[in-house]
Amino acid sequence: MPRSDGHDTRLLTVILNWRTPEMTLRATESALHAMRTIQGGIVIVDNDSGDGSEALLREAVAARGWAPRVRVVQSGRNGGFGAGNNAGIRAGLAEGRAADFVYVLNSDAFPDEHAITALLAHMQAHPEAGLAGSRLEGADGAPHVSAFRFPSLLSEIEGPLRFGPVSRLMSRHSVWMRMPEQSGPVDWVAGASLMMRAGMLDATGGFDEGFFLYFEETDLCRRARTAGFETHFVRESHVQHIGSVSTGMGSWARVPDYWYDSRRLYFRRHFGAAGGFAATGLHLLSGGLHRLRCLAMRRETGDPPGFLRGMIRHELGHVSGSRAVSTRTRA
């Protein structure tokens, strides 16, 4: 497998913890093994868990002899995924040296022994790449969708409508895409295993902390493109990803307000106020047609309960000025 050929190259790995300390330690152990030939260190950021996670993590790092290569810092507030990772990036390497690359790893993601070196080697070979993401897989080895197209006004028709002929006609506008057969440029990649060039972070300012959870890596990849950097999918980098452990997404009884907040912020930032309003209108229209078809066919919609009603309520709250700050409890 490829290895870093620059002995001065330094990598900072950031792992964000929110009430999953045992899993965070497992992710850290996997990252340590995958970084055995790479200079740098790991920062575990406790995102204001408030459940004793920070103390447990500090004790475990000391007991396992991981310090000073691994250290634990406290974010001080649960500002979400982007804010927590930004806190780790600001904390930097223990010796105070600047990192050439930053690798963000979810607490429920476990890189194989070559995953991190594959990302690093790819970025060293492709200076145009500002970000690079891994091939994510389930515990059974089945591939997860890891590379995507940017959400657009047309994707807000294709995705919610879920109608075969339309999806085929608009396939180039679908956010979801087949896993690329080769490593190379894509629009954006999943943030569960994401390597970033320091120069790209300097140019973009890193994650936008206006996104509490969801759409933050999509936004960063889009801003990076504007700044002249590509985002690459690296097929040779394999990472096992459990998914939705700290967010609880798999058991949502309803979509939380912070998801609607993030979606609305993304579209308004990149398409303007009128474009953001149009995106919501197109989503509601297409989603409504999908529901009518499901009703006629007597089948489930596949969406969480009250999804479209929640989107309408959320948008009207912003229009009327009565939108309250989201209750943000996960990251």
203 lies in the same domain as 280: no
User: What is the number of domains present in the chain?
Assistant: 2
82 lies in the same domain as 49: yes
Contacts of 91 (CB under 8 A, 6+ apart): 43, 45, 71, 73
183 lies in the same domain as 309: no
Is position 69 within any domain? yes
187 lies in the same domain as 298: no
CATH number reported for the structural domain that contains residue 115 in this entry? 3.90.550.10
226 lies in the same domain as 132: yes
Please name which of 34, 46, 48, 64 lies closest in space to residue 107, comparing C-alpha atoms. Answer: 46
83 lies in the same domain as 73: yes
132 lies in the same domain as 264: no
Is position 174 within any domain? no
For the entire predicted model, the pTM comes to 0.93
23 lies in the same domain as 129: yes
89 lies in the same domain as 125: yes
Task: Evaluate whether 43 touches 27 at the Cβ level (below 8 Å).
Answer: no
234 lies in the same domain as 255: no
Domain-terminating residue out of 199, 220, 249: 249
Domain limits for position 184: 10-143+179-249
pLDDT by 10s per residue, the chain, length 331: 333 444 589 999 999 999 999 999 999 999 999 999 999 999 999 999 999 999 999 999 999 999 999 999 999 999 999 999 999 999 999 888 899 999 999 999 999 999 999 999 999 999 999 999 999 999 999 999 999 999 999 999 999 999 999 999 999 999 999 999 999 999 999 999 999 999 999 999 999 999 999 999 999 999 999 999 999 999 999 999 997 554 445 456 789 999 999 999 999 999 999 999 999 999 999 999 999 999 999 999 999 999 999 999 999 999 887 665 444 545 5
Q: Tens digit of pLDDT for each residue in 100-111? A: 999 999 999 999
111 lies in the same domain as 204: yes
